[in-house]
A = this chain, B = another copy of it.
Amino acid sequence: MRTMVSLAGLAVLGAVLIGAAPAPQAPVKAPPTPQDILDAAPAAAWKDIAADDLVVMTLADGSSVVYQLAPRFAPVHVANIRQLVRSGYFDGAVILRVQDGYVVQWGRPDEDKTEAKGIEKHPPAEYEFTAKGTSLVPLPWPDSYAKTTGHIDGWPAASDGKSDWLVHCYGMIGVARDVAPDTGDSTQLYTVIGQAPRHLDRNLAVVGRVIKGMEFLTARPRGTGDLGFYKTDPERLKIVSAKMASDLPAGDRPALQVLDTHSGTFDRWLHAKANRSGAFFVRPAGALDICNALPPVRKAP
């Protein structure tokens, strides 16, 4: 937790290792920080995100939010989202709800009867899938909620050994639904903006993750209605357009990469995050929870 002074201090003291045994013969070299590890990563450790998995949402305040879809986990919901985007359903939709410490939700208000054309109206739940943890690379630290947590191909996940599911971490996107489980058709989506509401895991379909422009959603004024819904239309920020990146001219597509969760770089980054060192940290945590271990994303160099 650094002040401006400490930024300068860090530069000066970058080589000092607090808490390490003194090494009078040789100069002490601080272990690399998580950022050092990312900066030194080979190009092969970064994977391009397919343009057909990226949605670019332009908001009426001029900001732009990019989210990545998770077709492996929720194929029917993701097909719905692609169809809704391509049919223009979200062009002119709005931010409906901002509940502090919980979620931002967007779509069309209930009184808006715009037809959602060509989608599966009653998708299967897709809350979990029966991979039995086979492709999950586990974290070595316990979790409050699940037997195992870890990563499946770039996504934060959990497993009970029978089925796997994506977890409700900061920035993850889910499908809002009514009381009945089959009422979520992807016309309204939400993203998590506070402490991970893990009680929602396996109760709603998780379909993606905001990977750019999250701050334009989180900094919206909180709604003053029940559950943080905005009460009046002027409070609702308009979504000018939502486009599949694959439908944009090549030069306009966001070129984003995610750190390969099967790479050695990712493993080193995880362990450096769990064991912060350097001048500032007095005591490394020695652990990391899954929602503090979201795979880093960068602009392609």
Footprint of B on A, CB under 8 Å? 1-7, 9-10, 13, 98, 100-101, 103, 105, 109-110, 125, 127, 141-145, 169-171, 174-181, 183, 188, 190, 193-204, 214-215, 218-222, 226-227, 229, 273-274, 276, 279-292
Contacts and interface: CB of A to CB of B under 8 A. Distances in A.
A158 to B, nearest CB: 11
Contacts of A215: 100, 221-222
B127 A179 contact: no
A289 B1 contact: no
A174 B176 CA distance: 35
A65 to B, nearest CB: 12
A135 B48 CA distance: 51
Nearest to A125: B282
A283 B227 contact: no
Contact of A214 (B100, B141, B176): B100
The 9 A-B pairs at the shortest CB distance, nearest first, are namely A144-B289, A100-B215, A215-B222, A9-B179, A199-B285, A142-B142, A6-B178, A4-B110, A195-B291
Determine which residue in A144, A290, A291 has the highest number of CB atoms from chain B within 10 A of its CB, and name it: A144
30 contacts: A1-B174, A1-B177, A1-B204, A2-B227, A3-B188, A4-B110, A5-B178, A6-B177, A6-B179, A7-B227, A9-B179, A100-B218, A125-B282, A142-B144, A144-B144, A144-B287, A144-B289, A144-B290, A145-B286, A169-B195, A193-B194, A195-B196, A198-B289, A199-B273, A199-B274, A199-B285, A202-B283, A203-B276, A219-B219, A219-B221
Given A2-B227, A292-B199, A282 B169 contact: no
Contacts of A283: 127, 202-203
Contacts of A289: 144-145, 195, 198, 289
Contact of A203 (B103, B169, B221, B281): B281
Nearest to A105: B1
Contacts of A290: 144
Nearest to A145: B287
A190 B6 CA distance: 15
Contacts of A203: 276, 280-283
A280 B204 CA distance: 10
B103 A202 contact: no
A9 B273 CA distance: 44
A1 B176 contact: yes
Contacts of A195: 169-170, 194-196, 289, 291-292
A292 to B, nearest CB: 6
Contacts of A200: 1
B141 A144 contact: yes
Contacts of A6: 177-179, 183
A170 B194 contact: yes
